[in-house]
Amino acid sequence: MKKDLFAEIKENVKKCVAQSRLREAFTLARSLSEGNMAWEISDALNEAEQSYRRLLSYAVSGAEDPARDEMTAEIGETILTITDRLQRDNTAKEEPTLYYNNLRYLRANPSETIPSLMESYRKDCSERSLLDLVASGKHSARFHSTTSERELLERKIFNILWVSFPLSRGDAESIGSTLGSKVLPEHAVVLFTWALVLGGLEFYDSRRLELLCDLYTDGGAQVSAVALIGLLTVMHRWRDRRFPRRLTDRFAAVRELPSWQSDLKTAYMELTRTRDTDRISAKIRDEIVPEMMKLRPEFERKLSTPETVTPEEMEENPEWQEMLDKSGLADRLKEMSEIQEEGGDIMMGTFSHLKQFPFFNEIANWFVPFHCDRSEFADIPGNGGLDKIAGMFEPLNFLCDSDKYSLLMSLSHVPAAQREIVMGQLNAQADQFNALRAASLDLSTDSRRDLIRRQIQNLYRFFRLFRRKGEFYNPFGEGVNLVAVPALVDDVKEPEMLTLIAEFYFSHQYWQEALDVFGIVDSISAPSAAIYQKMGHCLMRLGRTSAALSCFEKADMLDNRSVWTITRLAKCHSLLGNHSSALAACERLEELRPDLPSTSMTMGRAHLALRHYPEAVNAFYKAFYLDEESGKALRPLAWSLLMDKQFDQSRKYYERVISDFDPRPEDFLNMGHLSLATGKFAEAQNFYRLSILSRPRPAGSSGNPVVNTATSAIRAASAAATDIPRSSIEGFIADMKADSAALSRLGVSPALIPLITDALLYSLS
């Protein structure tokens, strides 16, 4: 069946299940199974329908059944799972993605099952196998060969755990018993846990979530952290699916753990931080690195001395510090340092270019924890001592596993001398990191946070940097908002936690996300003027002025003396055309802060909109007096004077605008209006001509350049103007029409305006 048609029918099945129209859902699902000739799945569908028929017969007989709702929901979930299986089988026939390539391989090799591969790996990790490896010695070719074979088996298990769906009860028991046996090395348990997560993001499988609950509860520190991230991302992925009773009970036990709340809060915050990773990487790439490259020649010149300069001397040299300060690089580096202290991922951009090694072509290698017993690091001839370098990398906790592998792969291609320099810098960074950790008052909490953060970074890098990332659902694409997960609502709907999340979004200008979370905080806590202020600000940045006004009004009710809130009220009313209300807000501001030029400006605009021209003149005079240097009040003041028919004063301020600031097309236009109103028609024609010539030309057009100054405007006016863009003329005509009412107020006959315009255009042709 064609994928588009299948997807449409599947969507209808989901709607029917959501609306408890299970009979119709069975009919639609059966059409899919018969179309695919999936007889085994059809049998499972028939069995589920028979169970539903029995439930219906009990219901219509009037028999009491306290489990009826539970059973109905489970049957609906069974239909959805069967539909997922049908979609998977339908897609597997031709889809060239890695997932379906692996699925077709497994179907072609039915002897490779989860229990058989798990048992093989368990035996390989037995005490006898380990003794054999020790006896052979880490420096031997046999060690390298045996390690490579084990890694191949690990990848096979990873792939089968990834693409198996749905896990049978036997598969789940085999996985649970093997991963919990304490025989497997920790790196393997972590790798296989990631496989469960990756498969869980492809299709909803409640048994995977049960296994993740067990691994979070009973696994080691790293396994537990991976299982936690897996639980949260998979639950968010399938937040609209229902948990069966056994999973609900298992998850309830997880929530009873003393560490659950702190782990959840940490993970939620770190998952939220990933939203900012792209911005941080872009800042490093587009701002910091280019600035450093600009300064490089100057540094090389100052460092070209016969004496060796130590890093300490560089730090103490005031000239170099002055160079950094003047370039603005010092501020940017300080910002990066602050971002790192907050937990921001500043390494993503640095290591993104180091994920092109063949090592990263294998999916499993993105998730295997960094450890020294890798075949790539074996101490064999020609390996450049990578085993020793790997040993130095293992304790570097400020790097995630993926970045450690990246760095080691890159160092394997670097000459020995440069490699030692890099290692020295890394050791210094590690010492600094450990010193900061040692100064912490709560090392256990910091260690757990670092561990969770590194696992999230491993996952994030895969979905952002893997060469075939487009084949996967990316949980970070939409953001992991745990408030949207019904099973987690009671855990995360805690004002303190959500306020932290909202403040992060707000401070980093993710307005929609901040608005969503602030809205939840507002619904579960006492009314707060600060919350309404921030929600209003988010709404204004999103262009939703009416909704922003409502929030600011609520904030004003709670704190009616906030200058910030009243200013936003005035701005919202102005944008919405409520000029009388804007004026009332400005009058309140005048009482609180009579010295704010912005208040006088807003008040003046409100008077202008209401055609209170004398009052507008007074307001703009005051704004100009309070802030003469910026000149912001000059244009509205000159226009208000013009509308108040104070022509001499208006001319005075328009001339100052043209002489002291870069004139705009509308400045020449308004001077033309002034000249026209005072009967100076030739002068008006000249200013109108300047207004046309000073308009910006479309990109790539030839002819006179864009006019930015009064001198260049006059020069352009005196030149032949045979190539004026049509857009400039049309813009001028539109402006004249828009100002026709103002010109009528100034005594200019409406019939004169088109004549003036045509005469001008004839003169330009």
Own/partner long-range contacts of 328-336 (Cβ < 8 Å, ≥24 apart): 328/291, 329/288, 329/291, 329/292, 329/295, 332/283, 332/287, 332/288, 332/291, 333/288, 335/283, 336/280, 336/283, 336/284, 336/288
- Burial of 298-319, coded b for 16+ CB within 10 Å and e otherwise, reads eeeeeeeeeeeeeeeeeeeeee
Q: Which residue has the higher pLDDT, 720 or 627?
A: 627
- Closest C-alpha among 523, 532, 453 to residue 483: 523
- Closest C-alpha among 191, 203, 212 to residue 164: 203
CB of 620 closer than 8 Å to CB of 637 = yes
Query: What's the pLDDT at 333?
Result: 52
Average pLDDT over every residue of 363-379: 84
Burial of 705 (0-12, 13-18, 19+ CB in 10 A): exposed
Label residue 137 by pLDDT band (50, 70, 90): low
Structure tokens at 338: 């602050």
Alpha carbon dihedral 371, 356, 378, 127, in 10-degree steps, equals: 40
Is the pLDDT confidence value at 715 over 70? no
Instruction: Tell me the percentage of the chain whose pLDDT exceeds 70.
Output: 80
Label residue 441 by pLDDT band (50, 70, 90): very low
CA distance 485 to 20: 21
The CA-based angle 392-398-401, given to 5 degrees, is: 70
* Angle, helices 443-465/221-237, rounded to nearest 10 degrees: 50
Phi-psi region of 394 (alpha: psi -120 to 50; beta: other; left: phi over 0): alpha
Phi-psi region of 611 (alpha: psi -120 to 50; beta: other; left: phi over 0): left
Query: What's the pLDDT at 263?
Result: 95
Query: What's the pLDDT at 34?
Result: 81
- Closest C-alpha among 129, 214, 147 to residue 179: 214
Name residue 636's amino acid: P
Is the pLDDT confidence value at 427 over 50? yes
Query: What's the pLDDT at 211?
Result: 97
- Closest C-alpha among 630, 99, 460, 639 to residue 619: 639
Structure tokens at 123: 């035996």
Structure tokens at 517: 């979370």
Alpha carbon dihedral 680, 681, 682, 685, in 10-degree steps, equals: 120
Query: What's the pLDDT at 392?
Result: 74
Please state, in angstroms and as integers, the Cα–Cα distance from residue 764 to each residue in 704, 720, 754, following that order: 14, 8, 15
CB of 488 closer than 8 Å to CB of 482 = yes
- Least reliable range by pLDDT among 203-207, 231-235, 594-598, 707-711: 707-711
Query: What's the pLDDT at 518?
Result: 95
Average pLDDT over every residue of 20-25: 94
Query: What's the pLDDT at 28?
Result: 94
Query: What's the pLDDT at 163?
Result: 97
Is the pLDDT confidence value at 281 over 80? no
Average pLDDT over every residue of 255-267: 94
CB of 742 closer than 8 Å to CB of 677 = no
> What is the CA 114 to chain-centroid distance, rounded?
37
Alpha carbon dihedral 514, 519, 523, 527, in 10-degree steps, equals: 90
Number of Cβ within a 10 Å radius of residue 354: 17
pTM of the model: 0.77
- Closest C-alpha among 461, 458, 367, 376 to residue 411: 376
Is the pLDDT confidence value at 344 over 80? no
Query: What's the pLDDT at 522?
Result: 94
Label residue 286 by pLDDT band (50, 70, 90): low
CA distance 411 to 379: 16
Query: What's the pLDDT at 701?
Result: 57
Where do the structural domains in the chain lie, given as residue ranges?
Answer: 3-92, 662-765
Query: What's the pLDDT at 530?
Result: 95
CA distance 535 to 550: 10
Q: What would the 3-class secondary structure string for 627-668 be?
A: CCCCCCCHHHHHHHHHHCCCHHHHHHHHHHHHHHCCCCHHHH
CA distance 311 to 588: 58
First to last CA, the chain: 66
Query: What's the pLDDT at 311?
Result: 44
Average pLDDT across the chain, whole number: 84
- Positive or negative, the CA dihedral 167, 168, 172, 177 is negative
Average pLDDT over every residue of 153-174: 96
CB of 277 closer than 8 Å to CB of 508 = no
Average pLDDT over every residue of 491-495: 89
Average pLDDT over every residue of 348-358: 79
Q: Which residue has the higher pLDDT, 535 or 706?
A: 535
Query: What's the pLDDT at 301?
Result: 56
The H-assigned helical ranges of 439-562 are 443-465, 489-492, 495-507, 511-524, 529-541, 545-558
Instruction: Tell me the percentage of the chain whose pLDDT exceeds 90.
Output: 58
Is the pLDDT confidence value at 194 over 50? yes
CB of 455 closer than 8 Å to CB of 225 = yes
Phi-psi region of 700 (alpha: psi -120 to 50; beta: other; left: phi over 0): left
CA distance 457 to 445: 18
Per-residue pLDDT tens digits for 384-405: 556 667 777 777 777 889 988 8
- Positive or negative, the CA dihedral 757, 759, 760, 765 is positive
Name residue 42's amino acid: S
Label residue 134 by pLDDT band (50, 70, 90): low
- Least reliable range by pLDDT among 95-109, 279-293, 516-530, 605-619: 279-293
Per-residue pLDDT tens digits for 51-107: 999 999 988 888 888 888 889 999 999 999 999 999 999 999 889 999 999 999 999
CB of 409 closer than 8 Å to CB of 468 = no
CA distance 78 to 72: 10
For residue 166, is the peptide bond before it cis, meaning its omega torsion is within 30 degrees of 0?
yes
Is the pLDDT confidence value at 118 over 50? yes
Per-residue pLDDT tens digits for 517-576: 999 999 999 999 999 999 999 999 999 999 999 999 999 999 999 999 999 999 999 999
